[in-house]
Amino acid sequence: MSTLTSLTNHQVRLASRPVGLPTRDNWSFTSEPVTEPAEGGVLVKTLALSLDPAMRGWMNEGKSYIAPVGIGEVMRAGGVGKVVASNNPGFAVGDMVSATLGVQEYALVPGDQVRRSGMFKIDLRAGSATQWLNVLGMPGMTGYFGLMDVGQPKPGDTLVVSGAAGAVGQTVGQMAKIKGCRVVGIAGGRAKCDWVVNELGFDACIDYKAGNVKAGLKEHCPKGVDIYFDNVGGEILDDVLARIARGARIIICGAISQYNNTTPVQGPKNYLSLLVNRARMEGIVVFDYADRYPQAIAEMAGYLKDGRMKSKEDVVKGLQTFPETLIKLFAGANFGKLVLQVSE
């Protein structure tokens, strides 16, 4: 393993907590020598990292569903990579794995973290490395369990999903079609809307950048909205609340419109529609479903294979581009799941 120690690991660390949109000044670029894994540990060469809206929350101080990233720490990120050294009987050199790798070229994952953060082998016959960050990864799991467990889709239900062309949105919409729902997406721009309708088979898609979401919902959801999978919050959440059907289920998965606010979060002023319609609004955190990932992945891999599900990634190359690439998410400039490719 003497070759390892001659390698350099380039990293992106959180230098300061952003106010509003993160800028390049919030990051520091460091490098350090690669070291050997201790007992139980695994050294992984990063192939690709998942860039997610949730990262914005991890940059804030304060209690959330997961501890914030500390100042000076390597930024947290899930990713896929190849095992280049192992001191753990469960993993061999050459294995492809998915794990919390961080924004760096080499992740030295200690033994307790291998267990705790759920490092697992991925099978590239089931899906490509980037698909393992998308439909077969955390966004796919989030969409799957949010829809199935909280949304409880029934054939004939009308489902609306915001961020429809994003990583979670594309999974939710396609799964809902498979379960027999009428599916209406909300996305920014004609290209994304055309794609979810023509390529993914959504029944309709409302371009929120083109204007009137309210009118679009009225047109495409004449019987009201039975399930709303919310990735964005803000005005769009209010517009959907005004159209929910009796007994509707609203899955609160995220609120990307609010994450970079420097003013307080905008609360849904139409929340009393929950009362009138005996409806439910419920939050979901994907990690709670870790025990059931394998069965969900197997189901999704089947849909990928038989063509009932497609998976689109927006791949940007180069660790150094991380600050600007992350911003694409908040500008809605990504088209499909945003992935940072770190090595070939």
Q: Are 314 and 335 in contact (CB under 8 A)?
A: yes
Residue 251's alpha-carbon distances to 34, 245, 256, in angstroms, are 42, 14, 14
CB of 287 to its own copies, least distance (A): 10
For its own copies, which is the closer residue by CB, 71 or 274? 274
Question: If we measure between CA atoms, which residue out of 138, 192, 185 comes closest to residue 162?
Answer: 185
CB of 329 to its own copies, least distance (A): 17
SS3 331: helix
Instruction: List the Cα angle 304/308/309 in 5-degree steps.
Output: 50
For its own copies, which is the closer residue by CB, 30 or 277? 277
CB of 57 to its own copies, least distance (A): 9
Interface residues with its own copies (CB under 8 A)? Answer: 63-65, 233, 238, 252-255, 258, 264-285, 288
SS3 148: helix
Parallel, antiparallel or unpaired: strands 96-100 and 27-33 = unpaired
CB of 250 to its own copies, least distance (A): 9
For its own copies, which is the closer residue by CB, 45 or 249? 249
- The Cα–Cα gap between 139 and 79 comes to 12
Residue 191's alpha-carbon distances to 50, 160, 183, in angstroms, are 23, 18, 18
CB of 288 to its own copies, least distance (A): 6
For its own copies, which is the closer residue by CB, 10 or 280? 280
Residue 55's alpha-carbon distances to 124, 139, 226, 327, 328, in angstroms, are 26, 13, 30, 11, 13
- The Cα–Cα gap between 216 and 235 comes to 14
For its own copies, which is the closer residue by CB, 37 or 146? 146
For the record, the structure tokens of 97 come out as 């794995």
For its own copies, which is the closer residue by CB, 100 or 266? 266
For its own copies, which is the closer residue by CB, 63 or 125? 63
SS3 67: coil
Q: Identify the DSSP state of 223.
A: T
CB of 153 to its own copies, least distance (A): 18
For its own copies, which is the closer residue by CB, 136 or 252? 252
CB of 249 to its own copies, least distance (A): 10
- At 297, which helix (H) or strand (E)? helix 293-306
Residues in the chain: 344
CB of 264 to its own copies, least distance (A): 5
Q: Are 256 and 329 in contact (CB under 8 A)?
A: yes
